[in-house]
Amino acid sequence: MKRLLTAFATVCLLGWTGSAQAGQQMVSIGFMHGTADLAANDGAGFNAAYDHSELGGRLEYWNMLREHYAVNFQANVGFFSETDKPGTGASPGDPEGKYTQSSWSVRLGGDRVYSPLENTKVFFGPGIEFWSGKAKFEDIGGFSGTYETESVKRFSLHGHVGSIMMLGESWGLTGQLGHRIGVATYEEQGAKSTWWPSSIDGAMGLIFSFGVK
């Protein structure tokens, strides 16, 4: 919750700062999907990296500093949950297994924006992203009892392309796809792991426009 409030405050600050600019500003809120890069310790002195899908929410801000150029900021929270109940072949008293993961990330970049049709915008551009996430195992995945991993840290170069369709004077829909290449690190019980993940993500949501158009 603190991270969401921080992200919201950041967007508000960007909006207030950008109000001095002559350009249009836009804020979107919606759903995102991506890939979580995680790791766990095997208890024998080594870590093992793995990846998993994640869903979540995204808050995004654009400020049109020039007619066709915008600064872009994103804040994301991600999650996943799996519950496995024992079946008829399980031993009596076998517990229910549960796996959860959570993450947060921020991205700052610049976009090229143009309008091929009335009330429509297309944007694309590069950015830099920081992501952090961890997982929790409860009698699942070979872990007996509860085991919570440390947090993975991932720095990435991230590019995205998307479009905006205005349905009203100041609101509409937006969707985008992105691709990242980065480096992830993980430390637990003295063991250190580094790997170079790449993945694709996407998002869609409502967008609101204000300022000069």
Q: Which of 197, 120, 119 is nearest to 163 (CA)?
A: 120
pLDDT at 2: 52
What band does 3 get if pLDDT is binned at 50, 70 and 90?
low
Q: What is the pLDDT of residues 122-168, one digit of tens each?
A: 999 999 999 999 999 999 988 889 999 999 999 999 999 999 999 99
Query: CATH top-level class for 2-84+96-211?
Result: mainly beta
What is the residue extent of each domain of the chain? Answer: 2-84+96-211
Looking at 26-30, 85-89, 124-128, which range is the least confident one?
Answer: 85-89
Distance of alpha carbon 61 from alpha carbon 202, whole angstroms: 16
Q: What mean pLDDT comes out for the span 195-206?
A: 98
Q: What is the sign, positive or negative, of the torsion defined by CA atoms of 89, 92, 94, 95?
A: positive
Give the separation between CA 180 and CA 185, rounded to whole angstroms.
16
